[in-house]
Structure 1
Amino acid sequence: MGKVRDSANLFFLVEKETKTLKIKAALLAVLVTILTVFAGGTQVFASEFSFGVTPIAAANQIDKSKSYFDLQLKPGQKETVYVQLKNDLAREVKVNVAVNHATTNSNVIVDYSTSAKTADASMKYDLAKIVQAPKQVTLKPHSVVKVPFQLQMPAATFNGVLAGGITFKEAKTTKTSQSSSSQGLAINNEYSYVVALLMRQNSNPVTPNMSLHTVKPDQINARNVISANLQNNQMTYINQVAIQAQVTKKGDSKVLYSANKAALQIAPNSNFNFPVALNGQALEPGTYHIKLIVDGNKSANGKYARGKDSKGQSLRYQNEWILEKDFTISAATAQDLNKKDVTIKADYTWIYILVGIGLLLLVLLIIWLIWRKKQKDAKEAARKAE
């Protein structure tokens, strides 16, 4: 069965969610940033945590030394786990609480803090729907509260893991927001605690499976990419993942675009869009072919070899998938995305050609006018000579 990579990724995942800058003059923001950096010490404009979070180990915790929940329950079994919230401030703090199923983002990293609007089609049990939790908790000044989370394992027997996370974030008040906005300059950093929550019925191994679905041109941060949707449709993590992708014209072996990434992790029952960057190249319409080699679960005794480590030893993996697909880029899509890509330099060749032709025509016109005047002057001189 897939394991989570590292407990550090599963608790006290401090996520910087939003950063809003309101200024009356951009120069002022730069000046404040410089002063803050050189002054040292506390970041004046950065929001600090106003509460603490401590998961309380449950009776069915597999390893009580872990700082996240990894529970083994029987089919249909109910359990209540608790997270302690502590407020050391002299003011009341309201904390929003959310439970999400684990997803895999486009960086191929497991995300426990946000859920896709639609769960993956292979997900039989959405952890977010089988955990009962309060949506908001109010912490009085200098108080400690144990927040309950009621769980019930599905009645059906299965192998694998249900993976998700519990997110805690301070609720912003209208008064606080208005106060920040009225200053003319406000940098609002919002942070949240995330505690991973895993539920399983046994430790039986599950064989992962990767599939390739849609392939299409897209953009990330206003930059063109070829986006390949990959899916792990099994109830297991795929750890130590390495992905190699190559894009060619259909029927041609010349590689146009490529990507090679390692040290990745894929969540159970999740899909994600793996990007192949064009690195400033413009999209061109046509039919293309993509080939991806996905290796997972690195092991010294793995069947599949790929690359070498720092000592020159072959890196070996237990699983490997070779996925291929043809796809088409239309002229309209290529034109639209190319206009939005901030790394593509505008091609002014046709303007230069038109300007050149215009100048040439102007020169020819001037030469013709001079010639015509000379002809006229010659005729006038000949007439006077008679």
Structure 2
Amino acid sequence: MKKQRYFYLIFILLFSFFGLVSETQAADKGAGYTIAPVYPENQVDQHLGYFSLKVTPGQRGQLAVLVQNLSATKTKKILVKPTAATTTDQGQINYSPSNKKKDSSATYILPELFSKQVTVSVAPKTSREVTFEYQIPQNGFKGQILGAIYALDQTSSSNQNKSQFGINSKFAMVVGVQLSQDPSKKVAPKLNLRTVKPAIQNGNATIQLNIQNSQPILFGKLSLNAQIKKLGQQQVILKRKVSNYQMAPNTNFNFNIDAPKSKLTAGNYTALVNAKAGDYTWRLKRNFTISDNQVHKLNQPQTPARNGNMIWYILLAVLLLLVIIVLSFGARTKRRRRH
């Protein structure tokens, strides 16, 4: 009987685990609210799904989004704010709030031209229009200013979807915003290799190249072929190739090249980057030095970045292993009874 009770206990734990996963997944199926652009008269195209505004120097205007609460029972508190577009280290455009500093090449970023963030309460099955004021500088600007109107559900945890393990899902949405004085006028992008240095990224030793788009233009289909060589030598020590990267106007990102142990010693090096986007090509080069102290840090054992989902995989593996053991034990017991 003890063994039977143990068998049932394991199955109860296993199915309870799957029940919690299902509950969390169900909570993540929808945000329970939407935001949509309310196009002003200076919207370039009414079918884009985002704001593309033609503006003039010194212009004052308004930009609004419609926030709709889809819940039939719960009032939602939604934070709505203008954000600046940035470029992630994975070569993607990010419209969410970022800790990145304003790039040195940017004259203006979108939040500097717009009124401040607001938090609105939206009753069940209703919608509210949230309006921001903006002012274009008197001297205007070149190219594009890119960002978004960002919305985050800040409803208190008592009103949030929560699993029994305290997982609290919060949902964010964005509507892109592009400002330009002459949408038909194209500005040529320009890439710069600002810095090269050893670094630790996600627990891995890397050589970190900071690449900048110093012009006010969004572009994509960027391919990068980077190589690290000893100064004055032709042998390639480290390399990395990528394609289909994107860059937001006047932004930069860190391009990391893995540096396995024993690949690097103290000394002088050269970083070379061949880049291409459409008809534009760049050959970037920068010399850099790695000190003895930096080599020592790079070669130290690193703690891998924590994975928030790993505990679930481990727990599931343990439970499955226990079930297999119990089933095997049960099969052996039956065979013995037959004999």
User: TM class by shorter-chain length?
Assistant: 0.7 to 0.9
One-letter amino acid of the structure 2 residue matched with residue 57 of structure 1:
Y
- Counterpart selection for 2:287 from 326, 338, 344: 326
One-letter amino acid of the structure 2 residue matched with residue 51 of structure 1:
Y
Alignment of 1:148-227 (within 5 A): 148-173=131-156, 175=158, 183=164, 185-202=165-182, 203-227=184-208
Change beyond 3 A, Cα 1:295–1:32: farther
Task: Indicate whether 1:75 and 2:57 are aligned.
Answer: yes
Are the aligned partners of 1:51 and 1:86 in contact in 2 as well (CA < 8 Å)? yes
Are the aligned partners of 2:266 and 2:292 in contact in 1 as well (CA < 8 Å)? yes
One-letter amino acid of the structure 2 residue matched with residue 141 of structure 1:
P
Change beyond 3 A, Cα 1:256–1:158: same
When structure 1 is superposed on structure 2, of 277-286 and 104-113 the one drifting more is 277-286
SS at match of 1:43: helix
* Whole-Å separation in 2 of the counterparts to 1:223 and 1:255: 20
Q: TM-score, normalised by structure 2?
A: 0.78
SS at match of 1:325: strand
Are the aligned partners of 1:45 and 1:188 in contact in 2 as well (CA < 8 Å)? no
Match of 2:104 in 1: 121
Q: Which has the larger radius of gyration?
A: 1
Once the two structures are superposed, residues 63-120 of structure 1 have per-residue CA deviations (whole angstroms, 9 ceiling, x without a partner) of 1100000100111112212111111221110011222111111111111112344201
Identical counterparts, % of pairs: 29
Match of 2:78 in 1: 95
SS at match of 1:292: strand
Change beyond 3 A, Cα 1:243–1:91: same
Once the two structures are superposed, residues 280-315 of structure 1 have per-residue CA deviations (whole angstroms, 9 ceiling, x without a partner) of 66653322211001111x2xxxxxxxxxxxxxxxxx
Q: CA deviation at 1:233?
A: 1.1
The alignment covers a number of residue pairs equal to 291
When structure 1 is superposed on structure 2, of 231-240 and 151-160 the one drifting more is 151-160
* Whole-Å separation in 1 of the counterparts to 2:202 and 2:141: 40
One-letter amino acid of the structure 1 residue matched with residue 180 of structure 2:
R
Q: Which runs of 5+ in 1 are unaligned?
A: 1-27, 299-317, 344-386
- Counterpart selection for 2:48 from 37, 46, 66: 66
- Counterpart selection for 1:245 from 218, 226, 239: 226
Are the aligned partners of 1:54 and 1:85 in contact in 2 as well (CA < 8 Å)? yes
Once the two structures are superposed, residues 362-384 of structure 1 have per-residue CA deviations (whole angstroms, 9 ceiling, x without a partner) of xxxxxxxxxxxxxxxxxxxxxxx
Are the aligned partners of 2:213 and 2:249 in contact in 1 as well (CA < 8 Å)? yes
* Whole-Å separation in 2 of the counterparts to 1:236 and 1:341: 38
Match of 2:33 in 1: 51
Q: CA deviation at 1:58?
A: 1.9
RMSD across aligned positions (CA): 2.7
Moved over 6 A (4+): 28-31
* Whole-Å separation in 1 of the counterparts to 2:275 and 2:79: 38
Q: TM-score, normalised by structure 1?
A: 0.69
Change beyond 3 A, Cα 1:111–1:190: same
* Whole-Å separation in 2 of the counterparts to 1:34 and 1:225: 39
Task: Indicate whether 1:234 and 2:215 are aligned.
Answer: yes
Change beyond 3 A, Cα 1:338–1:282: farther
Task: Indicate whether 1:85 and 2:67 are aligned.
Answer: yes
Q: CA deviation at 1:44?
A: 3.8
Are the aligned partners of 1:57 and 1:69 in contact in 2 as well (CA < 8 Å)? yes
* Whole-Å separation in 1 of the counterparts to 2:216 and 2:222: 16
SS at match of 1:187: coil
Q: CA deviation at 1:217?
A: 1.0
